[in-house]
Amino acid sequence: MAETMTFRAHLWATLTLGLPLVGSQLGQLLIHATDTLMLGRYGVAELAAQAVAASVIVVLIVFGSGFAWAVMPMAAAAAESGDDVQVRRVTRMGLWASMGFTAVVIPVFLIVPDLFGRLGQTPEVSALADRYFSIALWGLVPALVVMLLRSYLSALERTRMVLWVTLAAAAVNAGLNWLLIFGHLGAPELGIVGAAIASVVCNVVAALALALYARLSQPQHQIFVRIWKPDWSALLAVFRLGWPIALTSLAEVALFAASSVMMGWIGTQALAAHGIALQLATATFMVQLGLGQAATVRAGQAYGRRDIARLRKVGQAAMTLSALAAAASVLLFVCLPGPMIGLFLSPHDPQRSAIIAIGSSFLAAAALFQVADSAQVIATGLLRGVQDTKWPMIYAAVSYWAVAAPVAYLLGLKAGWGGVGIWVGLALGLFLAAGFMMHRFWFRAVPAMDRGPEAGLV
């Protein structure tokens, strides 16, 4: 069936699908931001420890989500062609692959002694980070179940419930933080340990809620019936598409985790400011990620139809919306850095002024890469929609680890630029990745689809 929708209709369709996804991404970030906000008012050492420990947790969640994200374009293409059996097969085996990841990773990290001391953090920060990490690590299991179900429901354009469940989980996390960090209403004052417990509980709540909704709203797929039964061909298909996605995501998120580690080598104030600035920059990234996921679903639908005209308009609409969001982010970072950073700190903290000054310089650097970050996120989402994942993995590895990480280290720690040098290195890697990904989509993926499915990608 040939494309009949106008560009304006594609803009509206992408926005309608993308807004709940943006909201759910921001809601997920709110869970982490709440920890940062409340721990920032509890103590600077706790804030710094949570920043470095949570960065490792996020690395593991993003890495393990590769299989869940593979389900999104596969289920979208299958649903578009009316193949309910294939939707069920890939969703089940995506869950298998995700849980297999947790079975390997959790035991490995539990046996590593003094993890954050080995990463060069100060003794105080290291001890607090280890306590947080040892509890929050168990949240990896429900977090990956959430990611899998979000991908499945998003592929079916059932995104509103994903948003409401995520927001409810964020509210649960905030309430438990208030009780357990500070010891309100007779609860024990657990500090950073309370934040870890709250994060695990809210992920469990979200996983159970989405599982119930998926079962009740999509009975034709029966994704939990005989969940224990292996489907080796579907598992292999999910694995083949998912492992490059996992490594692509790992390359980027691990780069930012490494930046937190390097920032810890500079000092506790720099690390605390970095943690806050990174939360704000991640918020704008989550907007782009939600739009990128909408692009993945809509590109997957076009791929299922083998409709090249639709694919082009899907790409143009997604990139237009992304550029508008990036422009708004730049204005915020340039015009309101101090007030935004100050929200995360106690008004009476003696280090407040120093952290705001440091964090403001980081946000100025972050403003530089908003356009690049938006372009690479959307292009990557579109490439996943047409099930092109291996070359993006290579581009990410080169951009982030052959270029960005070394430059960040050299400018930040060797050239004496401090934290700003680390952020400039991050920006350089994102610009390079954006160029690679955009070229791949418009000059490789789209022409290959135009030649027909038998042509393949090179």
Residue 275's pLDDT is 80
- Among candidate residues 101, 93, 64, 87, the one with its CA nearest the CA of residue 237: 93
Alpha-carbon radius of gyration of the chain:
21
Tell me the C-alpha distance between 303 and 73, whole Å: 9
Q: What is the pLDDT of residues 1-32, one digit of tens each?
A: 456 778 888 889 888 888 888 888 787 777 77
pTM: 0.79
Residue 78 lies in a domain: yes
Tell me the C-alpha distance between 325 and 244, whole Å: 27
Residue 397's pLDDT is 94
Tell me the C-alpha distance between 36 and 275, whole Å: 8
| pLDDT beneath 70, residues of the chain | 1-3, 449-458
Q: What is the pLDDT of residues 98-146, one digit of tens each?
A: 999 999 999 988 887 777 777 777 788 888 888 898 898 999 999 999 9
Residue 228 lies in a domain: yes
**Phi-psi domain of 112 (left: phi exceeds 0; alpha: psi -120 through 50; beta: other):** beta
Contact criterion met (CB below 8 Å) for 219 and 87:
no
Residue 2's pLDDT is 55
Residue 286's pLDDT is 84
Q: Encode 331-346 in three state secondary structure.
A: HHHHHCHHHHHHCCCC
Tell me the C-alpha distance between 273 and 229, whole Å: 48
Residue 166 lies in a domain: yes
Contact criterion met (CB below 8 Å) for 317 and 385:
no
Total domains, the chain: 1
Residue 454's pLDDT is 46
Residue 279 lies in a domain: yes
Residue type at 28? Q
Residue 267's pLDDT is 82
Residue 458's pLDDT is 47
| Burial class for 15, CB neighbours closer than 10 Å (0-12, 13-18, 19+) | middle
Residue 8 lies in a domain: no
Residue 457's pLDDT is 52
- Among candidate residues 248, 253, 271, 249, the one with its CA nearest the CA of residue 261: 271
**Domain range for 424:** 18-450
* Distant-in-sequence, close-in-space partners of 111: CB < 8 Å, separation ≥ 6: none
- Among candidate residues 142, 155, 436, the one with its CA nearest the CA of residue 294: 155
Tell me the C-alpha distance between 448 and 458, whole Å: 9
Contact criterion met (CB below 8 Å) for 176 and 168:
no
* Distant-in-sequence, close-in-space partners of 239: CB < 8 Å, separation ≥ 6: 67, 97
Residue 319's pLDDT is 93
Residue 13 lies in a domain: no
Residue 455 lies in a domain: no
Residue 22's pLDDT is 86
Residue type at 42? Y
Tell me the C-alpha distance between 105 and 273, whole Å: 30
- Among candidate residues 213, 289, 293, the one with its CA nearest the CA of residue 58: 289
Helices then strands (H, E): number in the chain? 19, 0
Q: Give me 349's structure tokens.
A: 């903290």
- Among candidate residues 373, 192, 351, 383, the one with its CA nearest the CA of residue 278: 373
